[in-house]
Amino acid sequence: MTTRSLLTLGLLASTAFAAPNWAATSTTTVTKTKTTTEHETKTKTTTVHETKTETETKTKTTTLKPTVTITGSCSASAPLSSSTSVSSTSSSSSSASSSASSATTSPSSVISATSTTSSTINTNPTITKTATDVPTATASGLNVAAKNAGKRWLGTAADIPGTGEGADPYYLAEFNNANEFGEATPANTMKFFATEPQQNVFNFTGGDYFVQQAKASGKEIRCHNLIWANQLSDWVTSPAVPWTNATLTAALRNHVTKVIEHFGDDCYSWDVVNEPLSDSPAGAWAANVWYNTIGEEYFFQAFDAATQAVKANNLAVKLYVNDYNIEYLGNKSIAMQGLVKELKSRSLQIDGVGLESHFIAGETPAKADQVANMQAFTALDVDVVVTELDVRLNLPATAASESQQKLDYYNTVSACVSVARCVGVVVWDFVDTYSWIPSTFPGQGYGDLFLQPGGANTPLVKKEAYDGVLEALEGLAEIAA
């Protein structure tokens, strides 16, 4: 299939899968009183005693008294109280006791491992909360809320081992909190350069460690990724003998087969091909060593090898294609729909499409557009996952941009909640300290759900973005006044 035929397929898809009209969704303001008491032992090393009382009409009061003990490195007792006033008429203002952030914004709560902290926070006063779903579980956290919303999990990427994350007790305590994260994606350790550093010489040390860490807290793993343009081994990009179609196809198939075989059912899913499509022109094949040498058949060869490996080893692992700028119904999404159809017409296994969702605050697709786009994929009988969500800001962050960011997080998570076959949402790591954003997009950052005002190896602070995710999962409507 040529690029032109791919685009033609896309145009057909465009006709067949017109966006449903989601504009008519209505909401009702209600008064809700909720009292939750939790006494929970999560692991041998972490104990949480949390009492939460929440009364919500236009005023919400929350008292949280978590006690966290991290064996060997530190102990923590962190009473925290906050009161939130929501007014439909006043302008935005916020304040908080935490001041160590470099951003001129207000974290929504502070979790201190060393001292007692209390904060009073006024959240965005333009927000009205509407209860459409009352959580049923007694524990709290993003993953708990995701499950209550009918999702499989709320997950996160993590870059362990071998980085600062893996040595940061505060990072690890949060990562290991099954109430917060029910899924983990290895940010780097399963990529080509890591798993096959020399041809047919495999190294699964990092990947195996990741699997062990993730499974220790009951997480499922979205294994990432088998074939991509980037982070390849030198032997692929600078071969001693120039590749031919046949030799590179054999190398590609060998990699896909051996890596799937090794990790087996420890992977909930594999991103078989990552980012196959281009932005210019949107929806064309992306140029890379695979495409340049083999042509578009490389994509189908990868899925063919993966399909056979899953069958031969009797695995339950799901096969995904993953890309960015396919989160709304543009040419790239339409071309991706064409790829899904082509995979199915060739009887190759394709279970889902990963919507990366690396967004910029204030520039994310509208919730209705994200829903319509997800529906266009699920209409093809595949699942979707929001695979790499982050929402970066132009630095320095401001109160206004942080509020916008919260709304952007809310909209994407809420879109997934709205679509039955959106399996779940994965954030592309959860603490700004370890985000890929600042080094990749100079001048931008502050894109994750938590920050560490004191830097690495210091307590995490939940940002407004965290609240946006939680509110979306809890079915609370966020409405501009």
Contact set with ligand XIL (CB under 6 A): 159, 187-188, 274, 356, 388, 436
Give Cβ neighbours of residue 461 (< 8 Å, ≥ 6 apart): 98, 101, 107, 109, 110, 111, 450, 451, 452, 453
Question: Quick check: 405 and 364 in contact, CB under 8 A?
Answer: no
Q: Give the whole-angstrom CA distance, residue 464 versus residue 109.
A: 8
Shortest distance (Å) from residue 354 CB to ligand XIL: 8
Residue 70: other Cβ atoms inside 10 A:
16
Shortest distance (Å) from residue 203 CB to ligand XIL: 18
Q: Kindly report the backbone phi and psi dihedral angles of residue 434, in degrees, each rounded to the nearest multiple of 5, phi listed first.
A: -115, 15
CA angle, residues 303, 279, 407, in degrees to nearest 5: 100
Shortest distance (Å) from residue 323 CB to ligand XIL: 8
Residue nearest to ligand XIL (CB): 436
Q: Give the whole-angstrom CA distance, residue 406 versus residue 216.
A: 31
Shortest distance (Å) from residue 383 CB to ligand XIL: 18
Given 56, 275, 402, 478, which residue is catalytic? 275
**194 or 393: CB nearest ligand XIL:** 194
Shortest distance (Å) from residue 225 CB to ligand XIL: 6
Q: Is 196 a catalytic residue?
A: no
Shortest distance (Å) from residue 335 CB to ligand XIL: 18
Shortest distance (Å) from residue 156 CB to ligand XIL: 12
Shortest distance (Å) from residue 159 CB to ligand XIL: 6
Give Cβ neighbours of residue 77 (< 8 Å, ≥ 6 apart): 67, 68, 116
Nearest C-alpha neighbor of 125 from the set 59, 61, 28: 59
Distances (CA, A) of 269 to 143, 183, 383, 403: 18, 11, 11, 34
Q: Give the whole-angstrom CA distance, residue 81 versus residue 125.
A: 19
Residue 39: other Cβ atoms inside 10 A:
10
**275 or 478: CB nearest ligand XIL:** 275
Q: In the chain, what is the straight-line distance between the N-terminal and C-terminal CA atoms, in Å?
A: 50
**145 or 423: CB nearest ligand XIL:** 423
Q: Give the whole-angstrom CA distance, residue 235 versus residue 9.
A: 35
**40 or 234: CB nearest ligand XIL:** 234
Given 388, 464, 471, 478, which residue is catalytic? 388
Beta bridge partners of 277: 285
Name the H helices within 149-296. 169-175, 192-195, 205-216, 234-237, 245-263, 289-294
- State the Cα torsion 214-218-220-221 to the nearest 10°: 10
Beta bridge partners of 222: 269
Q: Give the whole-angstrom CA distance, residue 430 versus residue 468.
A: 14
So which residues are the catalytic ones? 275, 388
